[in-house]
Amino acid sequence: MIPTFELQGLTAYGQGGEPILKGVSLSVLPREIFGLIGPAGSGKTTLLTILNRTCELARRRVQVTGALRFEGRDLFAPDLDVSQLRRQVGMVFAVPLPLPMSIRENITLGLKLAGIPRGEWGERAETSLTAAALFSEVKDRLDTPAMTLSGGQQQRLCLARALALEPKVLLLDEPCSGLDPISTARIEEALQVLKERISVILVTNNVKQAARVTDRTAFLCLGELVELNATVKLFTTPEQARTADYISGRFG
């Protein structure tokens, strides 16, 4: 089985030359939910932005060394189509960012920019909204402004917007951090369905959420990969003292 992502000695430096990630080696497998946990400043978000190369769009760019492959191909190959990569590796952020337009247009704008035939827009919108556990709640008001949705609905709309492009991987950066338990549960339920066909990488500061929904979990601390294991094993019998301290709340 070819890993979805394979990292070998991945190191990332900030503008001042300080290391953000330090020789991280891991793999993400097809059709799994891969968790990333660790205290603030551990490099979790930086790692996500490297995986779909949106790190290059930030004002404070990072320098990356080491090997990184996506489905067996060098992610930094000179002939790699970065726009295509970002469609294949979708990302949802902690704060919902719906576009100031209708619910329907939030989905279809990305399809238009990607060159998807207009005849497919309706089906893709319904499929992605259903996958994000939102269609039943908005099907009768698709032409109303997205900003009228609740915070949890807006986050699920952002999830649907990413799914409409039919990505191979979904990167989630604390997608439930500001949501109520009901909205969180709906997103977690949606992820269990999604992993049947795509890989999901979930960054979360909620260790209970990681324990509930992920298949394998990596613990990062100060840019270092401390431990990586099956989630059940990592949370019940961690091999490293730092991991045990973090998941038990003794630091972080």
Q: From residue 138, give the alpha-carbon distance in Å to each of 111, 134, 145, 199, 201.
A: 19, 7, 11, 27, 27
Contact 43, 55 (CB under 8 A): no
Cα 87 to Cα 91: distance, rounded to the nearest angstrom: 9
The owner of tokens 């979805």 is 4
The owner of tokens 């090997």 is 67
DSSP annotation of 64 reads E
**Domains held by the chain: number:** 1
Query: Can you give the pLDDT of all 252 residues of the chain as single tens digits?
Result: 799 999 999 999 988 888 999 999 999 999 999 999 999 999 999 999 999 999 888 767 889 999 999 999 999 999 999 999 999 999 999 889 999 999 999 999 999 998 999 999 999 999 999 999 999 999 999 999 999 999 999 999 999 999 999 999 999 999 998 888 988 998 999 999 999 999 999 999 999 999 999 999 999 999 999 999 999 999 999 999 999 999 998 765
Q: How many CA atoms lie within 13 A of 80 on its CB side?
A: 18
* Predicted pLDDT of residue 8: 97
**3-class secondary-structure state, position 201:** strand
Q: What are phi and psi of 162, to 5 degrees?
A: -70, -40
Please check whether residue 252 lies inside any domain of the structure: no
Helix (H) / strand (E) element for 25: namely strand 19-28
Please check whether residue 92 lies inside any domain of the structure: yes
Cα 218 to Cα 211: distance, rounded to the nearest angstrom: 12
Please check whether residue 171 lies inside any domain of the structure: yes
Please check whether residue 30 lies inside any domain of the structure: yes
Please check whether residue 190 lies inside any domain of the structure: yes
* Predicted pLDDT of residue 250: 77
Could you give the angle at which helices 181-194 and 121-131 cross, rounded to 10 degrees? 120
Please check whether residue 55 lies inside any domain of the structure: yes
Please check whether residue 109 lies inside any domain of the structure: yes
CATH number, domain of 128, equals 3.40.50.300
- Cβ-based neighbour number of residue 150 at 10 Å: 13
51: tokens are 């995986």
Residue-number span of the structural domain to which 181 is assigned: 5-247
Please check whether residue 152 lies inside any domain of the structure: yes
* Predicted pLDDT of residue 177: 87
